[in-house]
Chain A
Amino acid sequence: MLKLTNISLTFNEGTLDEKKALNDINLEMEKGEFVTVIGSNGAGKSTIMNVISGNLIPDVGDVYIDGKQVVHLPEYKRSPYIGRVFQDPNAGTAPSMTIEENLAMAYSRTKKRKLSLGVTKKRKEMFKEHLKTLDIGLEDRLTAKVGLLSGGERQALSLLMTTFTEPNILLLDEHTAALDPSRAELITNLTEKVVRESGLTTLMVTHNMQQALDLGNRLIMMDKGKIIFDVSGVEQEKLTVQDLLNEFQNIRGAQFEDDRVVLG
């Protein structure tokens, strides 16, 4: 479904702030696989998300989606295949537009936009049904401006906007990090549910180690632009947070450093 081969990316090459963000990354994901990504600060997790989405073009390496080389396609041409939820709850929605208008825009992600009404009666009903699954009462506020919603509500809406069109690949970059614990849990549960129900191929960055172990069926650990650890299936289920920390120490000979890490 998704294949990255020999991806390298250096920021500000040849200057004093040269930063090798990705160093020969290879990653292959099967359809329906749910991969969690952990790693220290600046490991390159967000960068790899941006390379997949087309926000950044790698110096070398290829990106294949469904066997199709997409590395030179700009972001808007890739996004019919890719759904993304950002860390910042403000990033995934248009604040001065209404909930139904936001959903209508998301609904057009996989199609060519036409000169026909974005919000129709039929679509309204469909949006309502989808909003009901969030179970936070948004279905009664279709015409409310999204700017009025709380961060958690907005993030739930972003998640819905991204997933209800069932993207081939779902990218989640710390999408619960800006929320308080109870909201974060709500979004995590929703994520788990929708990924399971729709069988989405998912790559999720998290700072919560326990969550990384519990969610999904594969876990990768990144450090200094490399994937240093990759487990899946039964092996992942048996791991504990302490194992992960030890693993990092073994491989790197250093402490796992992350100012936002949540051990579980």
Chain B
Amino acid sequence: MFISMFGAVESGVIYAIMALGVYLTFRVLDFPDLTVDGSFVTGAAVAAISIVNGIPPIYATAMGAIAGFIAGCITGLLHTKGKINALLSGILMMTALYSINLRIMGQPTLSMLNETTIFSQLESMWAATGIDSFLNGLLASIGLEQFPSTWAIVFVMIIVTVLIKFITDFYLKTEVGLALRAIGDNKKMIRSLSANTDTLTIVGVGISNGFVALSGALYAQLGAFSDVNMGIGMIVIGLASVIIGEALFGKKTIARVTLAVICGAVIYRMIVTLALRVDFLDTGDMKLITAIIVITALVAPKTLQIRREKKRRSEKREQLGRQAEGDSHA
């Protein structure tokens, strides 16, 4: 149980980078971008083929992210300059990327089992610190018997993801970032305030897919393989993370939402892990579970709010009624 939850957090923090990307398009730009399913794999594919060809993992990962950025820019171009509907631009790019990803890898799956990945490097550096034996010792003292093989990935990925969050927060508060946010809020206005909305949209969708591809590149290295189909349903997972996060933690400020999105991604992985432990559910049901989670996260807050309002009103009515009664007696 602990081990599988540990795994959920580990992959959740990596997925969180993808979810931040999805947040940028869906929420900030109000651009329903479906490129994600493709660009996640693009990141994985570029990183994997680079690593297999002996490029240092850190550069391989960066190249994966850049490839995703370019793919996103093309989606943005299709929409702004090609005047293609946003959804369709994303679908077209996603479809094209399937073939492109196959070309990049040269085969449908690519294993990195015997390669040095960013995480295997990390683990060997980490091993020297002795933090693992300390933490596992702690776990043993509370009676756990199985220990995670390494804490390195969780720790470092949390730092990386939070760093990306802070950079995103800052970016969205700069002059450029404000204009980017206004695109999703009031495009006509920001154009009349001399912002080039086309360029901003292109760059915005690019950055978003850069995040997604970075997440893909890291995820591939975590599992030591890249598969041309590993991106299927990624967009829904990203959305699930955004929606769960917003529902649980609110969206008062940018900094709050980005944190919520990260937590949402981790919680999503945890829910899926728990669900898969239920006997009659198996991995094939995961998409259904995801859909149900998203629907719940969308519907529940509104239902709760309506209930609360109803209760408040009826209480108020009662209170007034009592007052009126009191008045008539007086």
Contacts and interface: CB of A to CB of B under 8 A. Distances in A.
Contacts of B178: 97, 101, 104-105, 108, 118
A95 interface: yes
B182 A97 contact: yes
A75 B176 contact: no
Given A104-B178, A114-B174, A97 B185 contact: yes
| Chain A interface bracket (under 10, 10 to 19, 20 to 34, 35 or more) | 20 to 34
A119 interface: yes
Interface in B182-233: 182, 185-186, 188-197
A61 interface: no
A152 B225 CA distance: 59
Contacts of A95: 185-186
Q: Is the interface of B mostly helix, strand, loop or mixed?
A: helix
A116 interface: yes
Given A101-B178, A117-B173, A110 B194 contact: yes
A87 interface: no
A79 B181 contact: no
A77 interface: yes
Contact of B176 (A82, A113, A119, A161): A113
| Chain B interface bracket (under 10, 10 to 19, 20 to 34, 35 or more) | 20 to 34
Interface string A83-98: 0101000111111110
A108 B176 CA distance: 9
A248 to B, nearest CB: 32
B192 A79 contact: yes
Contacts of A90: 186
Interface in A115-169: 115-119, 161
A86 B190 CA distance: 13
Interface of A: 53, 75-77, 79-80, 82, 84, 86, 90-97, 101, 104-106, 108-110, 113-119, 161
Ordered nearest first, which 7 A-B pairs have the shortest CB separation? A79-B194, A94-B185, A113-B175, A118-B178, A94-B186, A109-B193, A94-B182
9 contacts: A79-B191, A96-B185, A97-B178, A105-B195, A115-B174, A116-B174, A117-B170, A118-B173, A161-B193
